[in-house]
Amino acid sequence: MSKNLLLGPLLALEAENTYSVCFLAQGNQCTVKINNKDLAAIKTAETRSGDFWRIELDIKAEASGRKIPYEIMIDGEKAKDANSREHWEFYIPGTNERPKLIYASCNGFSTFDLLKNAENPYNLWEELIKAHTKNPYALLMMGGDQVYADELWTAVDGLKEWVGLKYNAQITALPSPSLISELDKFFEKLYLHQWNQEVVSLALASIPTVMMWDDHDIFDGWGSYPGKIQNCAVYKEIFAAAKKHFEIFQMRKRPAERLLNPGNSDCYFIHYRQYTILALDHRSQRSLEQVMGDQQWDAFIKFLKEVELRKTLLVLSAVPIVYRDFGAIETGFGLSPWNEELTDDLKDHWRAKEHQGERLRFIQQLLSELKKRTERHLNIPEQNADDWHFSGAARTVILSGDVHVGALGVIMDRREKTPIKVHQVISSGIVHPSPTALQWAGILAVTNDRNEYLNEDKTVEAAMLKPIGSNQYIRARNYTTIQEGTDKKLWINWCNESNDKAEYPLE
């Protein structure tokens, strides 16, 4: 009789040639048979349902691409996942192959009504698997809201009682042991439910992942509430439960030496082929006054100065840096963070007035680093660059989600003779629906996307671009593929549920 996995397997990229396989199961001894090796799994965490197991191994790419099969044994018996699969495999591109990457976000529903009205909630995951079967993806980057925890306010009995208290009583209330237990149970159940969906579980077992969380992995607007409520004991307990399960399932108990600033947040980076992927934790230290804390900033600046970056830097920033300006509605309605329902959404944007200075600092750091890297790369003769990871033009691309549309932005720096550009790709959601026509009309009415000048002489400019073959904003569920072409451009394709075939080549 086969053993059953409670969750997983979860496949991940840990470094250039390093992969991990993790899973939640009950058992005394677990092994993974992979790449002609039997590897003993290590127990890295305990949950209410079982133990979280992990193996890690190095697999170097060969001249040609190949598929790596694997299976899991629990106490000597072959294990099945929640959908009765016993065998899995993933693809490693050949050494001269330009790997095909995916970026996705918003894997869930913020309200029950959205779920109830969705005709085929996991349609894009099905399309993703079909495409992967024909032309395999090498890496899946997930940029936030991998689960939606917003139902906790009605699903957790202790929180329903707390919500009924007056404001001052909420701030001073201490979470009971039963509430703490309920929260722990809620978050584990959430991951098991959403990640055991048949096609989602197949993707997470078949394509190596890199993940970073956003607010819905905790609850909507986390970090954008006033200090008194944000720092109250109940909110802290919710965050602790969310972070515990994020680190187990999304970070897979990543070794601390791979983090930028261990103990303070979960920012990390990975080199992979011609890419350096920087995943920024914009939730752990977020408040109304800041997106990143001082220690995060120190680690971020140190990273940009000291790490030898590959040709293309991919920066995972869940909330878009370049997007429509919500300043008019924020000012016009005189919103105050303690008494308006929509405030957390407005304050959650990088262009909220409290974050504008930090946003400019962030942009300046990326532009400064890109300028230096561009100069270095231009000095590498193409014919002498035996490692194409570094040869050719340097790029920086921000990958964002959150806003439930697909879009493209750019930051252009014309201060030097040779201009430089930082592009931003927005892709969301792979499951969460886009705004309805009426909702989108309302957003357009109270926001603008006029070009924004970031310095006095107007030589640094941020703008929204129009993807080829679509409207400027792709108001349909979507995910993106990212692949360098033979023309050495980085091609972005938005796979979406509209009739548009949206794409854009980044020079």
The CATH number given to 1-96 is 2.60.40.10
Look at the block and give the residue holding tokens 């305990």: 46
For residue 2, which amino acid is it?
S
Contact between 160 and 150 under an 8 Å Cβ cutoff? The reply is no
Specify the domain boundaries for CATH 2.60.40.10 within the chain: 1-96
SS (H, E, C) 370-400: HHHHHHHHHCCCHHHCCCCCCCCCCEEEEEE
> Both tokens of residue 113?
């009504």
How far is the C-alpha of 419 from the C-alpha of 325, rounded, in Å? 25
Look at the block and give the residue holding tokens 């969310």: 242
Q: How many helices (H) and strands (E) does the chain have?
A: 14, 24
Contact between 286 and 355 under an 8 Å Cβ cutoff? The reply is no
Beta bridge partners of 69: 89
Name residues whose C-beta falls within 8 Å of residue 31's C-beta, 6 or more positions apart in sequence.
Answer: 38, 39, 40, 41, 72, 73
Specify the domain boundaries for CATH 3.60.21.70 within the chain: 98-247+257-492
429 preceded by cis ω (within 30°)? yes
CATH superfamily of 98-247+257-492: Alkaline phosphatase D (PhoD) (3.60.21.70)
Digit-by-digit pLDDT tens for the chain (507 residues) are 458 999 999 999 999 999 999 999 999 999 999 988 999 999 999 999 999 999 999 999 999 999 999 999 999 999 999 999 999 999 999 998 999 999 999 999 888 778 777 788 999 999 999 999 999 999 999 999 999 999 999 999 999 999 999 999 999 999 999 999 999 999 999 999 999 999 999 999 999 999 999 999 999 999 999 999 999 999 999 999 999 999 999 998 776 566 777 666 689 999 999 999 999 999 999 999 999 999 999 999 999 999 999 999 999 999 999 999 877 666 555 444 333 334 446 788 898 889 999 999 999 999 999 999 998 766 665 544 446 566 678 999 999 999 999 999 999 999 988 899 999 999 999 999 999 899 888 888 888 899 999 999 999 999 999 999 999 999 999 999 999 999 999 999 999 999 889 999 998
Q: How many CB atoms lie within 10 A of CB 86?
A: 11
How far is the C-alpha of 330 from the C-alpha of 317, rounded, in Å? 22
How far is the C-alpha of 496 from the C-alpha of 52, rounded, in Å? 34
How far is the C-alpha of 150 from the C-alpha of 319, rounded, in Å? 18
Rounded to two decimals, the pTM is 0.94
How far is the C-alpha of 396 from the C-alpha of 316, rounded, in Å? 11
Continuous segment of H or E residues that includes residue 188: helix 177-195
For residue 272, which amino acid is it?
Y
Q: Is 499 exposed, middle or buried (0-12, 13-18, 19+ CB in 10 A)?
A: exposed
